[in-house]
Amino acid sequence: MYQRKIPIDLDCPLRLTISLIDSKWKSCILDELRHRPMRPSELHKALPEAAPRVLDMQLKELVDDGLVVKTIYPELPPRSEYSISALGSSLVPIIDAMMEWGKEHKELFEKKYQL
């Protein structure tokens, strides 16, 4: 089981929020799930740049943090689906603000990184 090397600083609201969406793919996962529940294979197709193992680990962390809900259907073969929780939905405005900031400043970073 994954254990954080540095404990979350619960005294700082900014650090707490960042710790929940700090990885490269967590905010992208939440952005995908805001529209509809998705099966793991659908998330892998929506985020092909993410290694499957990394995506699965980050999904598990999001579930453990209560930002995403995993539903397992009692079928053969078993089928699972992820959906954003109410707590996860409360982060959507932050993700939207980050996306808007990226759009507004994209040109600056295209020049910087010569893309």
CA-nearest of 82, 71, 89, 87 to 31 is: 89
pLDDT above 80 (res 7): no
Among 80, 95, 79, smallest CA distance to 34 is for: 95
Sign (positive/negative) of CA torsion 63, 68, 73, 79? negative
Mean pLDDT throughout 28-41? 96
Q: 25-34 pLDDT, tens per residue?
A: 999 999 999 9
For residue range 55-95, list pLDDT tens digits in order: 999 999 999 999 999 999 998 888 999 999 999 999 999 99
Full set of structural domains in the chain with CATH? 13-113 (1.10.10.10)
